[in-house]
Structure 1
Amino acid sequence: MGRRSERLSRQGMLASETGDGDVIQVVSRAFDVLRCFEGHEARLGNLEISNRCGLPRSTVSRLTHTLTRMGQLVYLPRDQKYRIGPSAVAMSTSMMKGLQLRNLIRLRLQDVADQLPGTVGFVIPDRFHLVYLEFARAANALGLHEATGSRISMATTAAGHAYTAALDPMIGDALIAEMERELPDSAKLLTPRIEANRRHLQEHGYVVACGLWSPHINGVAVPMWSPQYQTYVVTTIGLLSAMYDEKRLHREVAPQMVELGAAIGSLLEGADGDIFANRIERKSLPVTAHNNNKMIKTEALNELEAGTRRPRPARSVRAGDGRR
C-alpha cells in the first residue's frame, strides 16, 4: 500500500476532509453527484443536481453523461431526468455482503428499541452527513422515523457530535474547518460544542445532543471503531424531548446505549472471524450496575475501538490512525 493510501487508511476519512491538496476534483465531484440521489427511486435533472451539490450546470451535465455511460446513472427520456443505475446498485450491494453481521446489529438495536420509545440507528459517516446502515424502532415510537439509507446532518445530531468527538483532535478540527468553508451554518452549531463533547466522551463514553435537529427531539450516541470501514461508526437513539429531557437521557438512556455500543463493538471486532462461520449466538446485553442513579463504568462500557481482544476504557484509545 502506498504512502497516500496508508494515510487515508489511518485517518479513516477522505483527504478532502482534512484539507489535503492531492484530491482529484473530478472524482470528488462525481461522488457529489451520486450523493444527490437519496433513495433508489429518486429522479433528478441536471438543474436539480446542480442546485443540490453547488456545481455549475455545465459541469453536472458532463458528469451525468459520464456516469450514465458507466452505468452509475440511468437517463429517463420521458422525464428528462436521471436515477441511480444498475452499476451503482450492484456496487453498493457488493459492499454490504456482511448480511449476517447486519442482522445481528439489527437485533441488538431492536433490544434497545423494545425498551425505549424511540428510533435506534447504526450510522456511518459520509462527508458532512451520516447514513443509516440499520435501524430499529419501538412499536410506540413517536417523533423520529428514519430508514436504512437515510442521511442525517453531522452538525445537528447526537450521532454527528459523537463521531466528530471521537476523531483525533487534529482530524476533527480539519473536518470542521472544511465544514466552515462549505456549510458555515452547520459548522456554527458544531464548533462551540466540540471540546465539551470530547471531554464528555472521554469521561462517560457517549455524547448527548438536545434540540439541535428539532426542538422536539433529544438524542444519545456512542461511537466505536470499525475495522471493516476503517472509521468510526455510531449507534444513536432519538427520543421525544417532552418525554426524555437531558437529565433523563443521562440517567436512563445513556447506560443502555453504552451497553449497546460495547455489544456492537464486539461484533465489529469479530466480523472477520466466527461471525460468518454459522456459529452465531445472540447473547443478552450486559446489565449495568448503578449506585444512586450514577453509572458505574466498566472496561467494556467505554469501548471506542475494536482492534484488541480485551476492551479498554475510552481514555486508552490510541491516536495515530485518526483514533483518540
Structure 2
Amino acid sequence: MSIVTNQNTARLSSSDDIDERKFVVALARGLELLRAFRPGDILLGNRDFVERTGLPKATVNRLAYTLTTLGYLRFDDAAGKYALDTGVLSLGFALLAGADTLELARPHMRELAREIGAAVSLGCRDGLDMIYLETIRSETALTLGLAPGSRLSMLTSSMGRAYLAVQEPAAREALLKEFDDAPAVDAARRAIDDFARDGCCYSFREWHDDVNAIAAPFRDVRNGRWLVLSSSGPASSMGEAYFRDTIGPKLKALAARLA
C-alpha cells in the first residue's frame, strides 16, 4: 500500500520493503511536495500541490510553510505560489558530485552520441518512474534528448523496461502490479522478452509518435544500484533496424564497460 495516497505521483509502492514502525509519514509527505515539481515548472500553488500529491489542503499548507522555512521552497508574494529554493539545489549537487559513475560515463557517452548521431542518456529508477541523470546530444545531427531531472514512465520508456528486465521475477511482478494500464504492462512484458533475446529493450514510437529508443542496463557496483543507458532519436529518420543493428551493440558494449 502506498504511503502517499495519490496514485499518479506516489513513489512508494507495495513492492518496497517498508517497516512502518520506522517510517516517518510526515517526512515522506514533505518530500512528495518537492517531487510535485516537474521539468519546466517554475511556480506551483497550493492547488497544484493538492492535485499532484492527493494530500489535504491543510496538510499542504503546513508542509509548504515548513519547507519554505528550511530553505527548500521560496514563496513568491507577487504570484502567490512557491518555487524550489537553493536547499534542493544543494542536495542535487551533492548527489551528482558523488556519482563517480556519471563522471566516468560522460566522455564515453559523448563519444557514442557523436558516433551514432543520436542522444545518449543515463538514468535510474525513482519510484515508478525513471529519472534522467544526464543526456548527451549528438554534435553532428539534430537529435532528441530529455534534460537531467526529466522523468519517464517505467512502462513506456526503453529505460524503464530495461530496469524491469534485470529485476528478480518477484520484484518485477510486484512493480508491474502497481500499474493499472494493462496494454502498457503487456507491451513492457514483450520488451522484457526482447531483453532476454537481445540484451536490451526498445520503445519504438510508444513514448512519442516520432521517437525511437533503446536501452541497456548495468550494475553500478560503487553504489549497489542498477543504472540504465539509453539512446533516442527521431523515428522519421532513425528506423528500428538502425537501433537494433547499429546502436544496440555499441550501447551494450558501453554498458558492459561501465559495469
TM-score range, shorter chain: 0.7 to 0.9
Q: What's the CA shift for 1:190?
A: 3.6
TM-score normalised over the length of structure 1 = 0.69
How far does the alpha carbon of each residue in 1:192-211 deviate from its partner, in whole angstroms, 9 at most, with x for none? Answer: 13443333323432111111
Return the alpha-carbon distance in structure 1 between the equivalents of residues 89 and 153 of structure 2: 23
Return the alpha-carbon distance in structure 2 between the equivalents of residues 71 and 64 of structure 1: 11
How do residues 154-173 of structure 1 correspond to structure 2 at under 5 angstroms?
154-173=154-173
Gaps of 5+ in 2: 1-10
Instruction: Determine the structure 1 residue equivalent to 2:230.
Output: 236
Q: What's the CA shift for 1:191?
A: 1.5
Gaps of 5+ in 1: 1-13, 266-324
Instruction: Determine the structure 2 residue equivalent to 1:9.
Output: none
CA pair 39-214 structure 1, distance change in 2 beyond 3 A: closer
Return the alpha-carbon distance in structure 2 between the equivalents of residues 128 and 135 of structure 1: 20
Instruction: Determine the structure 1 residue equivalent to 2:151.
Output: 151
Structure with bigger gyration radius: 1
Return the alpha-carbon distance in structure 1 between the equivalents of residues 222 and 84 of structure 2: 25
Q: What's the CA shift for 1:216?
A: 1.0
How far does the alpha carbon of each residue in 1:92-139 deviate from its partner, in whole angstroms, 9 at most, with x for none? Answer: 222222366433311111111102222110011111222211111112
- Opposite residue 86 of structure 1, the aligned amino acid is T
Count of paired positions: 246
1:16 aligns with 2:13: yes
User: Which sits farther off after the overlay, 55-64 or 94-103?
Assistant: 94-103
1:196 aligns with 2:196: no
CA pair 227-196 structure 1, distance change in 2 beyond 3 A: same
Instruction: Determine the structure 2 residue equivalent to 1:64.
Output: 64
Return the alpha-carbon distance in structure 2 between the equivalents of residues 159 and 139 of structure 1: 22
CA pair 202-214 structure 1, distance change in 2 beyond 3 A: same
Identity of aligned residues (%): 25
Instruction: Determine the structure 1 residue equivalent to 2:239.
Output: 245
User: Which sits farther off after the overlay, 210-219 or 245-254?
Assistant: 245-254
Instruction: Determine the structure 2 residue equivalent to 1:277.
Output: none
Q: What's the CA shift for 1:20?
A: 4.8
Return the alpha-carbon distance in structure 2 between the equivalents of residues 119 and 262 of structure 1: 19
CA pair 25-188 structure 1, distance change in 2 beyond 3 A: farther
How far does the alpha carbon of each residue in 1:51-92 deviate from its partner, in whole angstroms, 9 at most, with x for none? Answer: 222333222222212222222212222221111222222222
How do residues 69-84 of structure 1 correspond to structure 2 at under 5 angstroms?
69-84=69-84
User: Which sits farther off after the overlay, 217-226 or 50-59?
Assistant: 50-59
Return the alpha-carbon distance in structure 1 between the equivalents of residues 182 and 27 of structure 2: 28
Instruction: Determine the structure 1 residue equivalent to 2:248.
Output: 254
User: Which sits farther off after the overlay, 101-110 or 125-134?
Assistant: 101-110
Q: What's the CA shift for 1:168?
A: 1.1
**RMSD, matched Cα:** 2.4
Q: What's the CA shift for 1:43?
A: 1.5
* Contact preservation (8 Å) 1:223, 1:235: yes
Instruction: Determine the structure 2 residue equivalent to 1:113.
Output: 113
CA pair 99-228 structure 1, distance change in 2 beyond 3 A: closer
Return the alpha-carbon distance in structure 1 between the equivalents of residues 177 and 42 of structure 2: 31
* Contact preservation (8 Å) 2:135, 2:145: no
Q: Counterpart of 1:33 in 2: which secondary structure?
A: helix
Instruction: Determine the structure 1 residue equivalent to 2:215.
Output: 221
